[in-house]
Amino acid sequence: MSRVDTAWLRMDSDTNLMMIVGVWLIEPRLALADLRQRVRATLLKYPRFRQKVVDDALGALWMADERFDLDAHVVPETLRPGPNATPLAALKKVVGELAMIPLARDRPLWQFHLFEDFEGGRSALVVRIHHCIADGIALIAVILSMADGGTVPRLRGRRPHAVHDEHDWISDHLIRPAADLALGVLGIDGAGLGRRFDTLGEAVGSLAGGLELARKGAQMANDLAALVLMPDDSPTRLKGRAAGSKRVAWCEPLPLSDVKAVGRALGASINDVLMASVAGAIGDYLRAKGDDPTGLEIRAMVPVNLRSPDEAWQLGNRFGLVPLVLPVGVAHPIERLAVVRARMDALKGGYQPLLAFALLVVAGLLVKPGQDALLNFFSRKATAVMTNVPGPAQPLRICGRTLRQAMFWVPASGDIGLGVSILSYGGGVQFGLITDAGLCPDPDAVVQRLRPEFDKLLWLALMLPWEGR
């Protein structure tokens, strides 16, 4: 197991389990036998889903589970709503409970829970996969392989279970470029110290290149300092000691075309619009609780994909993290959007994702107490984890049924008690929220504010002077 994946494996705690949890709403009803057949034909083509984790003195190993039993991983469930609960509310409650039930360590670290008769002829599938197996981008490739007509990379002669040496990867992407920067600034190249320039243009070009190297070197140093010296996050009711029980919530998707139109009208990206809406919803939630968030900011750790597009099929974790400061205390939606856009622009092109990935490698090299100390240091710096994963543009079909709605929730480390997930799927943008019950017992109250916050931006965009534009 790679050191980064080992870090995720060891990050489990009593208050946060490192599981990616998802829910699929499928219609019409999906039978258990059909699902098991599809999993056997697609998911199990990835050897990692037949392997269990074995700890050793140096870390952990992936080993084939000689007693692998598919029936233990794709299991039937029955929903039992209370007398005053809807099936949807009952499903949310069950998902929150499953988010804190550890996966069996003597089996491969994943499990599917199928509620065949969920609601109105639909089925609900709850997916639990440990983060040490894969990150969100890789799991999208897995999901695509399970769809009708999907293909598994192994069928094309690739090895989806190949483990990369992240030490070589960091050397190529971080250490070697840093060394080249230093040597370039000093004027050292393969020919030795300094060199003679035959033309003035060559000398000017070399000077310009040296200045660019110096600029990149300074940026890397500044990004490292910003990451290490980052202050603790603002104190709010959402920040504190996690209780260890979970609540989940989701809302109806926003039309992706509307989000794009608002972004174009207001000169912002899709991500800017979505992040500004999330910040507005959190701020309004705090006000409804009697808090005054005016001028308040909270920090969210945002994963950044470090894979090239042709490597999306590979399992394992290959992403870094950047801290995004959310202006939850800015009430005016346009002003809040401008602040988010400026913050997002400032993060682009930096080295923080690579540096955060390197820190995860270091964490994987440490014994458990050392890893906990390093990761808890950074968990104090953030209130939330927020991720945005692009999904298929068209609704998928599985076993002849339609995957009508999909959502997922990201895990958080330490005492971070708020996870925000954004997934674009089938022409819509889906928001999901998972919270620690001790810090935010009513995540639906936050999620229900997302659409109104987006609508404010939508109406303001419609009020712009369009004549002549």
Instruction: Choose the weakest-confidence range: 106-115, 162-171, 212-221, 422-431.
Output: 162-171
Superfamily of the domain at 3-156:
Chloramphenicol acetyltransferase-like domain (3.30.559.10)
How far apart CA 274 and CA 266 sit, in angstroms, is: 13
Per-residue pLDDT at 158 exceeds 50: no
CATH 3.30.420.40 fits 233-387+429-462, yes or no: no
Checking if the pLDDT of 66 tops 50, the result is yes
Domain assignments of the chain as residue spans, ordered by start: 3-156, 166-226, 233-387+429-462
- Residue 134 is classified by DSSP as B
Three-state DSSP class for 91? helix
Strand 59-64 versus strand 74-77 pairing type:
unpaired
28 prior amide bond cis, ω within 30: yes
Structural contact between residues 310 and 153, judged by C-beta atoms closer than 8 angstroms: no
Task: Give tens-digit pLDDT for 380-414.
Answer: 788 999 988 888 889 999 999 999 999 998 888 88
CB 412 within 8 A of CB 419: yes
The yes-or-no answer to whether 3-156 and 233-387+429-462 have a common fold is yes
Check residue 397 and give its pLDDT: 94
Q: Of 370 and 100, which is predicted with more confidence?
A: 100
- Position 444 scores a pLDDT of 96
- Which one, of 268, 282, 373, 288, lies nearest residue 325 by Cα? 282
pLDDT digits (tens, 9 = 90+) for 423-469: 999 999 999 999 999 999 999 999 999 999 999 999 999 888 766 55
